[in-house]
Amino acid sequence: MLSEELLSILVCPACKTKVTYFRQQWLLCDNPDCRRKYPIKDDIPIMLIEEGDKWRETAPESLPDTDQLRF
């Protein structure tokens, strides 16, 4: 679980828009032109542009559980 304090300062590294905490596993960029999605692994947000790029075309409800992913 990420703290409210941490969530309040996180922004998308690609476009600097705020992100939405989703299923306690993902951070979704709120910018509709960006749509990058950043996985959270062991409570550590992976805020890398190249990671966000992988999920741009994936709908939020289709995102996998992040404990299934390898980094």
Name the site residues for Zn ion (rule: CB under 5 A): 12, 14-15, 17, 29, 31, 34, 36
Closest CA to 9 of 49, 45, 57: 45
Name the minimum Å distance from CB 38 to Zn ion: 9
Instruction: Report in angstroms how near the CB of residue 12 gets to Zn ion at its nearest.
Output: 3
DSSP string, the chain: ---HHHHHH-B-TTT--BEEEETTTEEEE--TTT--EEEEETTEE---HHHHHTTTTS-GGGPPPGGG---
Least separation in angstroms between residue 24's CB and Zn ion is: 20
CB nearer Zn ion, residue 15 or residue 69: 15
Q: Which is nearer to Zn ion, 18 or 25 (CB)?
A: 18
**Which CB atom, from 12 or from 40, has the smaller least distance to Zn ion?**
12
